[in-house]
Amino acid sequence: MEKVVVIRFGEIFLKGKNRDYFESLLIRNIKHALKGVQHTFSRSQGRYFVENFLPDDETEIIDRLQKVFGIHSLSVAEKVATRADEDFPEIRASLADCAQKIASERAAGKTDKLKFRVTVKRADKSIPMTSAEIAAALGGTVLQKGVFKVNLNDFDCEFKVDIRENGFSFVYTDAVAGAGGLPVGCSGRGMLLLSGGIDSPVAAYMMAKRGMTLCAVHFSSPPYTSERAKEKVVELRNIAEKYAGEIRLFVVPFTDIQLAIHRECPSNFMITIMRRFMMRIACRLAEKYDCSALVTGESLGQVASQTVESMTCTGATATLPVFRPLIAFDKDEIMAVAKKIGTYETSILPYEDCCTVFLPKAPAIKPHLKAVEKAESVLDVEGLIAAAMENIEEL
Ligand code: ATP
Ligand code: MG
C-alpha cells in the first residue's frame, strides 16, 4: 500500500500578502529536514505532500517533520485510485480498513456508538457530485461496521478523503500535532548565549519556534573548564539544530577576564560583572554576524544573577535588545520542555561551567548599577574584550 504524508501549516495562513514568503521558508526548511531520505515533495491547495518514500522511512520522516516549525499537523494517508464511475471501490476499501482499526482500538467495551464524519476535499472537479454528496455516500462504508453513527458537528473521529487530480485520492484519519510556531528564518537573527545548562537550549527552541535564526556563543574558561564541557555544548547545539536549522557556534576564551575580575573586583559583584562582559562580547559578535538581538536562558528569580536588579546591571551593557523567552517559566516547566526536545539528558551531564568557577560565597542579590560600574572601573574593559575577541574559535 502506498503512503503519503499530508502536511498542514498553521499560523502562516494569517499572514496575508507575506504568505508566499513564509511558505517559501517553510518549504526550504522541510526540504532541509528531509535531506538524505528518499522522497518526493509537492504542494497543492494549501497543503504539502511527501510521497514515494520507503515504508521503513515513515517513522523517521514523521519524526523529522514534527521538529519543523510552521507545521500545524501531519497525517499519514493511504494513496488509492479514485474511480468515481465505479462508486469509489479503492477509497471504500481504505475507509473500511481505517474504520476497522478505529473500531478495534476505541469501540471495544463501549455501549455508545462512536460519532464520526467523513470530510471530502475534491480537487478533481470532473466528478459530477459535490464534496458533501460524496462524503454522504462514503459514510455508508463506515456505518457498515456497526459501531459508528454520523455526527457532523460533534464527532469522535473524522475520516478524510482528499480527491486529487490524476485519479488518485488520499484517505486518512488521525493527525499528529506538528511543532507549531513560524518557519525558522522569518523572524530575524539572534545571538544565543549558550551555556551547558538546562535553560539556554530551551531558550533556543523557544526563539526558533517564533521563526528566529540563531547563532550561539559559549564562554569557556580553560583549564578550569574542560574539553568535555565544550563537547557537551556542541552536542546541545547539534540537538537544537534539529529544530532551529544551522546554528553557528562561537567559543570565547573567558579565563583571563574571570581572573581579572576575581583579582580586582569585590567578590559579591563577581557574577554581575562577569555577565556584563558576556553581554558586551555577545553584542559585538552579534553585530559581526548580522544578528539583531541577544537570547539568554534567564528566568526571573531563579538565582542571584537573575533578579530584576541583576538583569538591570547586566542588560545595561547590551547595545541590542535581550530576549529572555524563559523569563516567566518555572524550573519544572523548563525541564519539561528540555525533556521533550531531547536536550535534558545532555544538559545534566556534570561538567563544570565557567560560571561555577570562582563562585562567590555571597553574590549580590540586588546589585546597584552605579556600585557595579564603580567596582568594574578598575578593569581595562576594552583591552580584556579585545583580547578575548581575538581568540574566538568557531566549532
Ligand atoms: P543554563 O541552564 O542555561 O545554564 P542557568 O540556570 O545555569 O542556565 P545561569 O548560569 O545563571 O543560569 O545563566 C543564565 C544564562 O546566561 C544562561 O541561560 C545563558 O544564556 C547565559 N550563560 C551562562 N553561562 C554561560 C556560558 N558559559 N556561555 C554562554 N552563555 C552563558
Ligand atoms: Mg548555566
The per-residue pLDDT for range 266-275, each reduced to its tens digit, is 999 999 999 9
The model's confidence at residue 297, banded by pLDDT at 50, 70 and 90, is very high
pLDDT given at position 337? 96
Residues 6+ positions from 18 with CB-CB distance below 8 Å: none
Q: Which atom of ligand 1 is nearest to the CA of 200?
A: 3
Ligand lying nearest the CA atom of residue 230:
1
DSSP 217-241: EEEE-TTTS-HHHHHHHHHHHHHHH
Ligand lying nearest the CA atom of residue 276:
1
Ligand 1 contacts CB of residue 354 (under 6 A)? yes
Q: How far apart are CA 275 and CA 269, in angstroms?
A: 10
Ligand lying nearest the CA atom of residue 191:
1
Residues 6+ positions from 195 with CB-CB distance below 8 Å: 218, 219, 233, 297, 353, 355
Q: Would you say residue 384 has pLDDT above 80?
A: yes
Largest CA distance in the chain: 88
pLDDT given at position 357? 66
pLDDT given at position 355? 64
Q: What is the Å distance from ligand 1's center to 193 Cα? A: 7
Q: Which atom of ligand 1 is nearest to the CA of 220?
A: 27
Q: What is the Å distance from ligand 1's center to 275 Cα? A: 9
Ramachandran bin of 54, using left for φ above 0, alpha for ψ from -120 to 50, beta for the remaining angles: beta
DSSP 90-131: HHHHHHHHHHHHHIIIIITT-SSPEEEEEEEEE--TTSSS-H
**What is the mean predicted confidence (pLDDT) over 307-328?**
95
The model's confidence at residue 320, banded by pLDDT at 50, 70 and 90, is very high
Q: Would you say residue 351 has pLDDT above 80?
A: no
User: Candidates 191, 192, 193: which one to mutate for ligand 1, based on the most atoms within 8 Å of Cβ?
Assistant: 193
Q: How far apart are CA 99 and CA 167, in angstroms?
A: 23
pLDDT given at position 385? 96
pLDDT given at position 15? 63
The model's confidence at residue 11, banded by pLDDT at 50, 70 and 90, is low
pLDDT given at position 55? 92
Phi/psi at 354 (5° precision)? -60, -25
Q: What is the Å distance from ligand 2's center to 63 Cα? A: 29
Least confident of 27-41, 108-122, 293-307, 350-364: 350-364
Q: How far apart are CA 357 and CA 220, in angstroms?
A: 10
Q: What is the Å distance from ligand 2's center to 347 Cα? A: 10
If you ran DSSP here, which 8-state letter would residue 356 be given? Answer: G
**What is the mean predicted confidence (pLDDT) over 251-277?**
93
Name the residue at shortest CA distance from atom 1 of ligand 1.
197
Convert the pLDDT of each residue in 338-349 to its tens digit: 999 999 999 998
Ligand 1 contacts CB of residue 307 (under 6 A)? no
Q: How far apart are CA 7 and CA 10, in angstroms?
A: 10
Q: How far apart are CA 39 and CA 51, in angstroms?
A: 6
pTM for the complete prediction?
0.87
Please tell me whether the peptide bond between 350 and the residue prior to it is cis, using omega within 30 degrees of 0. Answer: no
Ligand 1 contacts CB of residue 131 (under 6 A)? no
If you ran DSSP here, which 8-state letter would residue 332 be given? Answer: H
Q: What percent of the chain has pLDDT over 70?
A: 97
Ligand 1 contacts CB of residue 225 (under 6 A)? no
pLDDT given at position 19? 82
Q: How far apart are CA 221 and CA 128, in angstroms?
A: 73
Which of 369, 224, 351, 358 is closest to 307 using CA atoms? 369
Name the residue at shortest CA distance from atom 11 of ligand 1.
305
Which of 12, 6, 14, 47 is closest to 211 using CA atoms? 12
Ligand 1 contacts CB of residue 294 (under 6 A)? no
Spell 219-228 as b/e; 16+ CB within 10 A means b. Answer: bbbeebbeee
Looking at mean pLDDT, say which of 98-102, 104-108, 221-225, 232-236 comes out highest.
Answer: 232-236
Q: Would you say residue 359 has pLDDT above 80?
A: no
Ligand lying nearest the CA atom of residue 298:
1
Name the residue at shortest CA distance from atom 18 of ligand 1.
297
The model's confidence at residue 370, banded by pLDDT at 50, 70 and 90, is very high
Which of 89, 175, 101, 81 is closest to 145 using CA atoms? 101
* Amino acid in position 160: K
